[in-house]
Amino acid sequence: MRVSFVGAGLQTRRRAPIVVQSEDDELIEIVGTETAPPKGLLEQVRYQWSNNWKSAVQRSDVDAIVVCTPPHLHAEITIAALDAGKHVLCEKPLCRSMQEAEAMVAAARKANRVLKCGFNHRHHPAILEARKRFERGDFGRPIVARCRYGICGRPGYENEWRADPNRAAGGQLAEQGTHAVDLFRWFLGDLVEVSCMTSIGYFSKQSLEDNGVALFRSAAGAMAMLHSSLTQWKNLFSFELIGEDGYFEVEGLGASYGTERLILGKRDFNAPFQDHIIEYRGGDSSWQSEWREFKQAIAGNRKPLGSDLDGLEAVRLTLAAYQAEQSKSVVQIGSGLQYTRQ
């Protein structure tokens, strides 16, 4: 597959090497904002560089576009690429409003192209293994889920695009929390109630929250609890699910989050506590796994894991959480989605 990237930041540095190392794929172009690529960006590799995404998404020698820009540009670029007949992998959060989300989903439908939201967490091996076991019933009906997801911010964070309300989709609740919200939906099904609090606890020069906590209730009555933080001074990812028959925890995501581990256990009133622990040592394989799934969805002409609709639903839930925070109430989440759910 011939692939171009729009955006030349961290996510492109993560995702483009997958394309470079793949025998089936070719990296055609990277589009940034400068006239030359930034230092250290794939220096030994041959690819083209431009600062004109509009022509990049029109090129006839390109099959797919990966959108790694800040969120305020996601919708425009993605829709243009879809309209030009390209498949698109768009970084999360999918976009910043339901209007944008619905337009993106509509464009993918009209173009009959795959639009995947960059929910790479679904592709982490521990999550995938947990999902497999979930589907075969190992945990039973879900009772409650917890996600603690935090990263240590950086000095000067306030000057990054992530701290700019005109470019970001929200604060830390939207930025990292969207992964948790997507995972909650995946394991608990539709979420119908949300309560939320946010705060600016440390990075006080910015207007977006650096911490957000939220409670969700699913249509089936399960509860979920989220903390998304930019002041977790030691990076942490922990996603836990307790079902009537057992539980799992995914801890770590590789790299700066530490070794990814899947901790599994069964309800047993009569035995000492015991866990089964699977360790996924080495680097973070989710980017590779996600890329493979994207290509398989294209090949199979089907919705990918972490689809445009999943992206849309996560936007809806994030907006509902912010609304709950503002209205100091528990928000009931309507089903006003015009597209058929998966």
Distance of CA 16 to the CA centre of its chain: 17
Residue with smaller CB distance to its own copies, 272 or 338: 272
| By the rule CB under 8 A, 197 interacts with its own copies | yes
- Residue 189, number of CB atoms within 10 A of its CB: 13
Q: Cα–Cα distances in Å, from 217 out to 75, 123, 142, 211, 221?
A: 29, 24, 11, 20, 6
Q: Read out DSSP for 23-42?
A: TT-EEEEEE-SSSSPPTTSS
Binding span for its own copies by CB under 8 A among 82-90, 107-115, 165-173, 222-230: 222-230
Give which of 218, 201, 221, 219 is closest to 210, Cα–Cα.
Answer: 201
| By the rule CB under 8 A, 155 interacts with its own copies | yes
Binder to its own copies among 52, 55, 132, 244 (CB under 8 A)? 244
Residue with smaller CB distance to its own copies, 116 or 123: 123
| By the rule CB under 8 A, 154 interacts with its own copies | yes
Q: Is 267 helix (H, G, I), strand (E, B) or coil?
A: coil
In 142-222, which ranges are E strands? Answer: 142-152, 191-199, 211-218
| By the rule CB under 8 A, 330 interacts with its own copies | yes
| Binders in 107-126 for its own copies, by CB under 8 A | 125
29 residue type, one letter: E
Residue with smaller CB distance to its own copies, 186 or 247: 247
Residue with smaller CB distance to its own copies, 44 or 338: 44
| By the rule CB under 8 A, 138 interacts with its own copies | no
Is the separation of the CB atoms in 25 and 19 below 8 Å?
A: yes
Binder to its own copies among 87, 92, 227, 316 (CB under 8 A)? 227
Q: Residues in contact with its own copies, total (CB under 8 A)?
A: 68
| Binders in 248-307 for its own copies, by CB under 8 A | 255-259, 265-269, 272-283
Residue with smaller CB distance to its own copies, 164 or 193: 193
Distance of CA 85 to the CA centre of its chain: 24
Q: How far apart are CA 255 and CA 284, in angstroms?
A: 6
Cis bond before residue 155 (omega within 30° of 0): no
Would you tell me which residues interact with its own copies (CB under 8 A)? 20-21, 43-46, 125, 143-144, 146, 148, 150, 152-155, 193, 195-197, 199, 201-202, 211, 213-215, 217, 221-223, 225, 227, 229, 231-235, 242, 244, 246-247, 255-259, 265-269, 272-283, 328-330
